[in-house]
Amino acid sequence: MQRTSQLTMRERMWGYAFLSPWILGFLLFTAGPMVASLILSFTNYNPVGAAGAQFVALDNWRMIFVDPVVRQSFWVTGRYVLLATPILIATPLLLAVLLNARALPGKPLFRTFFYLPAMIPAVAATMCWLYILNPSTGWINRILEWFGIPGPDWVNSPEFAPIMFVLLVLWGIGPTMIIFLAALQGVPTELYEAARVDGATAVRSFFSITVPLISPVIFYTLVIGVIASLRYFMATYIVYNGTAGPGGVAQFYMLTLYRNAFVYYQMGYASALAWVLFLIGLALTLMLFASAKRWVYYAGSMDR
Amino acid sequence: MSDTTSMLSSGRQATYVRPNSRWGKQLGKLALAGTLVLFALSLLAVYLMPLGYALVASLRVRNPPADAPIWPMSPATFTWEGREVEIFRVPTADGERELAIIDKGRTASQFVDPQNPAEVIDWQGAWRTLPRVYFWDPQWQNFSEVWRFLDFGRLLFNTIIIALIGTVGTVLSCTAVAYAFARFRLPGKAIFFVLLMGTIILPSEVTLIPTYIIFYQIGWVGTWLPLIVPHFFANAWNVFLLRQFIMGIPRELDEAAMIDGANPLQTLLRIIMPQALPAMVAVALFHFFYAWNDFFLPLIYLAGKPELYTISVAMQTFQVQYGGRPELTMTASLMATVLPFILFFLGQRFFMQGVVVTGVEK
């Protein structure tokens, strides 16, 4: 009896030792800072100013609801999430279906090449897109010209810039495509054969067999995609050099947060902004999880 | 399908029909494959167009004329009596000729044939309407120019050091933590695991500001430390990936080692790590690409220290300063892409498996 418990103790010691980097990191870089940023959000802390931090109660939080810049960011970010999310799920899914087609030769090669742009550093990729979308010298508008369509000024027009933002992230769909490909390979082929015998078209099989069976993966992509879209930042920072762009079209929430924190050093206000973003992300995630019961199908397995 | 047909049809008939139908089927298959390849290729052409643009644009001259072709070509010139004159495609009585313009007039101009410069040709018409002659002239020196302009050697060094040390930290810490999650019976492990997975959804912005303030207070802002040290404390994605992988390694292997008197650390080093090598390579690649790509954290932590910049941050600054020189920006973009491409091709198999594990398995 004594011996077993000693053995268990030894095992636990080793286990916690191996776990310790994460526990320490969690306390130092996640839990601690989370609490700290909540506290900071009730102060006017400015690391550059000499004043130090004063307790300002709910001032920062109240400010969020009256700040016109924040209102603009909600609008710009919300529009982007609604525009980008369906595209960033449908495009890699359809690509995966194409690259999974039994009749397509050279699949590994195609997969590699469609994955390739995801390897291009985002700053470099944004610049490539920026120049190819250039209204006078870019290829896109030259091609549109051949078809007699006058190409828009993608970067400087408030109507077309949101489309440009989506184009910029389309180059990052490689990982999602690979995940969908793996999920597609997990769908039993007997089901398709049975459907074909029953006279189902390819489109019908796609919506009645493929989509339900890979819905857990679609769900995963949806959650990760919405959260990533809420935090969209880098491309717009590079396109407009850290400004809000024409008519505030690039006034993304993260830009507002970034500018308040690291340009104006309003750390208290920025902390409140970060918490609001966190709460919105959490609420959206919980809503998605609640909706999952209706449409996500877990192949009769016990997990979740 | 063809088996069913042969079974259904009577033997004799089948021997006549089958060769033909097989031919037709093969042809149909070939046509389908051809269509699919064509479709996939044209999609790929559109998808990779910006990359093609970057390749072409990186070799162009500075400020090409507005009517210049998209290819890296320069206007052809000819030296006539000590001055450099332009060459145009001129329609003449003997067909179109490539002639050098020596005297420009609104309605009539004088040309010479570069092959026979002694004879002056008078031509009626507006020279401005004539197409210019271009020749293939890739500007390979753009690459060396960017290398010098950006001090690219230093940027490469900075980025590689930050990425490599971070990679070592990530792989070591994540493997240890994943081993604990996969193999040890610990009170509170379930709660820890939920917390771990929760940090995936948690946006780092909430923790960003206090973390920045702490690093600022201890004097780490303006150094590489905030970009390296946190990676020695494991992260959720990679721990999850490695845990999934380690759980698939047969337990008998480490039990046998334990019976031989190995302690858990020795088991980890001698049994688990060699088995988990593909997953560790995937994690290493993930982190290396992440660090190579990361823009936000180097932007805030290295602000005002150009000598410490990573490639991403330096390129953004470069774009602001030399935005008017697309050929150099495109060259820089390509140069930033070379190393990730090579690594990707070398480690593709491990990398793709890693992507799949994080997305599909539970």
CA–CA gap between residue B359 and residue B344 (Å, rounded): 19
Predicted ipTM of the assembly:
0.81
Instruction: Mark whether B38 and B100 lie in a shared domain.
Output: no
CA–CA gap between residue A62 and residue A270 (Å, rounded): 13
Instruction: Mark whether B244 and B187 lie in a shared domain.
Output: yes
Residues of A in contact with B187 (CB under 8 A): 12
Average pLDDT over residues B94-123: 82
Q: CB-based contact (8 Å) between B5 and chain A?
A: no
Q: CB-based contact (8 Å) between A5 and chain B?
A: no
Which residues lie across from B80 on neighbouring strands? B83
- pLDDT tens-digit map of B221-264: 999 999 999 999 998 889 988 998 898 888 888 888 888 888 99
**Phi then psi dihedrals of residue A35, to 5 deg:** -60, -45
Q: CB-based contact (8 Å) between A228 and chain B?
A: no
Residues of B in contact with A288 (CB under 8 A): none
pLDDT at position A178, please? 87
- pLDDT tens-digit map of A261-287: 889 988 899 999 999 998 998 899 889
**Phi then psi dihedrals of residue A83, to 5 deg:** -75, -45
Cα dihedral value A110, A112, A115, A118, nearest 10: -150
Question: Closest to A25 (Cβ–Cβ): which among B50, B180, B234?
Answer: B234
3-state secondary structure of A41: coil
A&B contacts, CB < 8 Å? 270
**Residues with Cβ within 8 Å of residue B56, at least 6 apart in sequence:** B70, B71, B72
Question: How many angstroms separate the CA of residue A205 from the nearest CA in chain B?
Answer: 18
CA–CA gap between residue A156 and residue A88 (Å, rounded): 24
CA–CA gap between residue B261 and residue B252 (Å, rounded): 14
With a pLDDT cut of 90, the percent of chain B lying above it is 28
CB within 8 Å: B337 and A119: yes
Instruction: Mark whether B7 and B39 lie in a shared domain.
Output: yes
* DSSP conformational letter for B268: I
Interface test with chain A among B174, B205, B292, by most A beta carbons within 10 Å: B205
User: DSSP readout, A95-109?
Assistant: HHHHHT-TT-S-HHH
pLDDT at position A136, please? 78
CA–CA gap between residue A14 and residue B258 (Å, rounded): 13
Q: CB-based contact (8 Å) between B39 and chain A?
A: yes
Q: CB-based contact (8 Å) between B68 and chain A?
A: no
Most confident of A15-29, A147-161, A205-219: A15-29
B361 has pLDDT over 80? no
Number of Cβ within 10 Å of residue A66's Cβ equals 8
Residue B241 lies in a domain: yes
Which residues lie across from B87 on neighbouring strands? B100
- pLDDT tens-digit map of B314-325: 988 888 887 778
Average pLDDT over residues B20-49: 86
Q: CB-based contact (8 Å) between B196 and chain A?
A: yes
Q: CB-based contact (8 Å) between A13 and chain B?
A: no
Number of structural domains (chain B) is: 3
CA–CA gap between residue B299 and residue B316 (Å, rounded): 10
CB within 8 Å: A14 and B212: no
Residues of A in contact with B208 (CB under 8 A): 33, 37, 261, 274
CA–CA gap between residue A73 and residue B181 (Å, rounded): 40
Q: Which amino acid is at A110?
A: F
Cα atoms found within 13 Å of the Cα of residue B295, Cβ hemisphere only = 21
- Of A173-177, A296-300, B49-53, where does mean pLDDT reach its minimum? A296-300
pLDDT at position B302, please? 94
Q: CB-based contact (8 Å) between B288 and chain A?
A: no
* DSSP conformational letter for B318: H
Instruction: Mark whether B9 and B106 lie in a shared domain.
Output: no
Instruction: Mark whether B15 and B115 lie in a shared domain.
Output: no
A58 has pLDDT over 80? yes
Tell me which chain B residue has its CA closest to the CA of residue A27: B233
State the residue for tokens 């810490």.
Answer: B173
CB within 8 Å: B54 and A128: yes
CA–CA gap between residue B251 and residue B141 (Å, rounded): 58
State the residue for tokens 């600054």.
Answer: B317
CA–CA gap between residue B122 and residue B46 (Å, rounded): 47
- Specify whether the CB–CB gap between B76 and A135 falls below 8 A: no
Instruction: Mark whether B252 and B304 lie in a shared domain.
Output: yes
Q: CB-based contact (8 Å) between A274 and chain B?
A: yes
Of the pLDDT bands very low, low, confident and very high (cuts 50, 70, 90), residue A3 is low
CB within 8 Å: B37 and A131: no
Cα dihedral value B232, B237, B243, B245, nearest 10: -110
- Specify whether the CB–CB gap between B352 and B281 falls below 8 A: no
Of the pLDDT bands very low, low, confident and very high (cuts 50, 70, 90), residue B8 is very low
Residue B55 lies in a domain: no
Of the pLDDT bands very low, low, confident and very high (cuts 50, 70, 90), residue A1 is very low
B14 has pLDDT over 50? no
Residues of B in contact with A221 (CB under 8 A): 359
Averaged confidence pLDDT in chain A: 87
- Specify whether the CB–CB gap between B170 and B284 falls below 8 A: yes
Of the pLDDT bands very low, low, confident and very high (cuts 50, 70, 90), residue B176 is very high
Tokens at residue A239, please? 């396109």
- pLDDT tens-digit map of B131-153: 888 888 888 888 998 899 889 99
Question: How many angstroms separate the CA of residue A146 from the nearest CA in chain B?
Answer: 14
Q: CB-based contact (8 Å) between A52 and chain B?
A: no
Question: Closest to B296 (Cβ–Cβ): which among A25, A233, A271?
Answer: A233
B359 has pLDDT over 80? no
A165 has pLDDT over 80? yes
Residues of A in contact with B179 (CB under 8 A): 18
CATH architecture of A63-295: Orthogonal Bundle (1.10)
Which residues lie across from B83 on neighbouring strands? B80
Q: CB-based contact (8 Å) between A127 and chain B?
A: yes
Tokens at residue B199, please? 């940090």
Average pLDDT over residues B106-119: 81
Last residue of a domain, one of B113, B132, B151: B132
Most confident of A143-157, B294-308, B342-356: B294-308
The residue that leads in pLDDT, B358 or A77, is A77
Residue B152 lies in a domain: yes
pLDDT at position B5, please? 39
**Residues with Cβ within 8 Å of residue A167, at least 6 apart in sequence:** A129, A133
pLDDT at position A304, please? 38
Of A259, A213, A257, A225, give the one whose Cα is nearest residue A41: A257
B172 has pLDDT over 70? yes
Q: Which amino acid is at B78?
A: F
CA–CA gap between residue A132 and residue B47 (Å, rounded): 12
3-state secondary structure of A275: helix
Residue B69 lies in a domain: no
- Of A79-93, B78-92, B176-190, where does mean pLDDT reach its minimum? B78-92
Residue B68 lies in a domain: no
- Specify whether the CB–CB gap between A227 and B203 falls below 8 A: yes
pLDDT at position A51, please? 66
CB within 8 Å: B176 and A230: no
CA–CA gap between residue B248 and residue B246 (Å, rounded): 5
- Specify whether the CB–CB gap between A201 and A210 falls below 8 A: no
Instruction: Mark whether B190 and B313 lie in a shared domain.
Output: yes
- Specify whether the CB–CB gap between B232 and B195 falls below 8 A: no
pLDDT at position B10, please? 40
Q: CB-based contact (8 Å) between B70 and chain A?
A: yes
Of A296, A281, A292, give the one whose Cα is nearest residue A225: A281
The domain of B86 spans: 77-132
- pLDDT tens-digit map of B54-71: 888 888 888 777 777 778
What's the farthest any 2 CA atoms get from each other in chain B?
Answer: 100
Residue B67 lies in a domain: no
pLDDT at position B321, please? 81
Instruction: Mark whether B34 and B127 lie in a shared domain.
Output: no
Residues of B in contact with A176 (CB under 8 A): 359
pLDDT at position A4, please? 62
Q: CB-based contact (8 Å) between A19 and chain B?
A: yes
The secondary structure element, H or E, covering residue A44 is none
- pLDDT tens-digit map of A70-116: 999 999 999 999 999 999 999 999 999 999 988 888 888 888 889 88
CB within 8 Å: A113 and B44: yes
Model pTM score:
0.82
CATH number of B157's domain: 1.10.3720.10
pLDDT at position B24, please? 79
